[in-house]
């Protein structure tokens, strides 16, 4: 036997002795302590299953040292039956893998195999992938995903019950914990400042939800009426735009809002038609000028040809204010409001015009395929990011 083998056995022996000592400190049970009281009933002052699993784990390690001994001698030494020892030797790898792959450790009372191992393996892979992206996962979400996987695998009899969820979490060492939402939602990357530098302060938003206890007076007691609704607040980093509060209720159709909405909408539509009809009678129709040879048109054309573009539209988002105004990718901007190539300094000038013109018309002159066009743009909030919905490139 080499020196390294002897040292390895000595280290393993010391490790086993420490585990035996720790087990013995648990209400003086140890490896040979009785698990029943004087009346023959299981002791209520210890966790019998935990002690048994601990003993099995220690015996598995002792087998490396006692390989030269007979099984009968080992069973007599540790006060266990020969059949129990045979079971430990046969399932040794299974027990050791269970100790290594789960976080429950000795708290695991039995090794129950899943009825659908491939389903749970796929579900664990999905769980690890989602959690690696710092996404919060609830028990209901795990059940829904399990049902989707079961449907895809053809397990029609699978039921995602509460007991199954408990056993699944126990098998894979999954613990449900309350996460601090503010800290968990913050980007933990080192390049956060580089990312923020790519956007204007008015284009960076933060949204957070809070609980509104509308029937509870301020105080330190927990007793009281806890009727509440959830409110989400959102604003940009410089405070120039604060979105309306988004109230999240508990019911999709509350009784207080169960009105005849169709009748109300018909009344509104009727009033709008009357307003437009009255306006059409009072105001004469505006006939657009189609002449291209007037002195004014020639003057505007000469002025536009003298001006140079200072920016180019790189990308237009669908259903954005820029698309609604008629802008397209590749357009050259000649004038944006009061900004032209003569007074243009940086994109901050355009951003300032946009911020002061929210909901208002901004005249824009562009050049598209050597054709000059006058358009009207209305900066406003939409379903996407920013107030325009387009990317501009300097020239």
Task: Compute the Cα dihedral for 199, 203, 207, 212 and give only its sign.
Answer: positive
Give the closest residue to 311 by CA, choosing from 336, 289, 293.
336
**pLDDT above 80: residue 347:** yes
Domains of the chain: 3-101 (no CATH), 117-172 (1.10.10.60), 200-215+227-268 (no CATH), 311-394 (2.30.42.10)
What are 333's strand-pairing partners?
Answer: 311, 366
If you count them, how many residues does the chain have?
395
Q: Please choose, from the candidates 370, 365, 353, the residue with its C-alpha nearest in 3D space to the C-alpha of residue 325.
A: 365
Instruction: Tell me the sheet residues that pair with 374.
Output: 365
Can you tell me the mean pLDDT for 108-127? 79
Write down the residue that tokens 């209520």 correspond to: 44
The torsion angle over the Cα atoms of residues 288, 292, 297 and 302, rounded to 10 degrees, is 150
What lies within 8 Å, CB to CB, of 59 at 6+ separation is 78, 80, 85, 88
Instruction: Encode pLDDT of 72-85 as tens digits.
Output: 666 776 677 777 77
Q: What is the pTM of this model?
A: 0.29
Give the bridge partners for 365, in sequence order: 335, 374
DSSP label of 170? H
Helices (H), 27-180: 48-62, 71-77, 82-90, 92-101, 117-132, 139-153, 162-172
Q: With bands split at pLDDT 50, 70 and 90, how would you rate the model's confidence at 147?
A: very high
Q: Which residues pair with 212 in a beta bridge?
A: 229
Give me the pLDDT at residue 290, please. 43
**Residue-wise pLDDT tens digits, 223-243:** 555 677 888 899 988 888 888
Tokens representing 394?
């300097």
In this predicted structure, the answer to whether residue 340 has a pLDDT above a threshold of 80 is: yes
* Overall average pLDDT of the 90-111 stretch: 59
The rounded percent of the chain whose pLDDT value lies above 70 is 61
- Give the H/E segment covering residue 362: strand 362-368
Which single residue is written with the structure tokens 């035996």? 20
Residue 331 has pLDDT above 70, yes or no: yes
Residue 284 is predicted with a pLDDT of 54
């Amino acid at each position: 036997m080499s020196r390294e083998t002897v040292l390895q056995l000595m280290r393993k022996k010391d490790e086993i002795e420490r585990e035996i000592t720790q087990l013995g400190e648990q209400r003086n049970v140890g490896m040979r302590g009785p698990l029943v009281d004087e009346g023959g009933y299981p002791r209520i002052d210890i966790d019998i299953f935990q002690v048994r699993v601990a003993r099995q784990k220690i015996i598995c390690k002792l087998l490396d040292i006692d390989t030269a001994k007979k099984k009968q001698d080992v069973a007599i030494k540790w006060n266990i039956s020969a059949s129990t020892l045979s079971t430990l030797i046969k399932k040794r790898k299974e027990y050791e893998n269970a100790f290594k792959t789960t976080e429950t450790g000795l708290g695991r009372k039995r090794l129950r195999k899943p009825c659908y191992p491939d389903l749970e393996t796929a579900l664990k892979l999905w769980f690890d992938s989602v959690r690696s992206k710092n996404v919060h996962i609830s028990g209901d979400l795990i059940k829904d995903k399990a049902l989707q996987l079961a449907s895809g695998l053809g397990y029609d009899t699978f039921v995602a019950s509460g007991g199954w969820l408990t056993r699944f979490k126990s098998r894979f060492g999954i613990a449900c914990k309350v996460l601090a939402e503010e800290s968990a939602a913050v980007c933990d990357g080192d390049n956060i400042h580089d990312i923020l530098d790519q956007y204007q302060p008015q284009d960076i938003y933060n949204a957070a939800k809070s609980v509104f206890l509308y029937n509870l007076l301020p105080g330190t007691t927990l007793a009281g009426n806890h009727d509440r609704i959830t409110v989400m607040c959102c604003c940009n980093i410089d405070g120039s735009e604060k979105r309306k509060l988004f109230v999240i209720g508990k019911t999709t159709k509350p009784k207080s809002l169960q009105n005849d909405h169709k009748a109300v909408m018909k009344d509104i539509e009727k009033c709008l038609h009357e307003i437009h009809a009255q306006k059409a009678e009072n105001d004469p129709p505006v006939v657009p000028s189609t002449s291209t040879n007037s002195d004014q048109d020639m003057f505007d054309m000469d002025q536009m040809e003298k001006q140079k573009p200072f920016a180019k539209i790189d990308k237009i988002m669908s259903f954005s204010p820029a698309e609604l105004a008629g802008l397209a990718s590749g357009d050259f901007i000649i004038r944006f409001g009061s900004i032209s190539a003569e007074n243009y300094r940086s994109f901050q000038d355009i951003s300032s015009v946009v911020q002061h013109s929210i909901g208002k018309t901004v005249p824009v002159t562009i050049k598209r395929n050597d054709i000059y066009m006058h358009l009207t743009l209305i900066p406003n909030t939409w379903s996407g990011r920013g107030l325009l919905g387009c990317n501009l490139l300097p020239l």
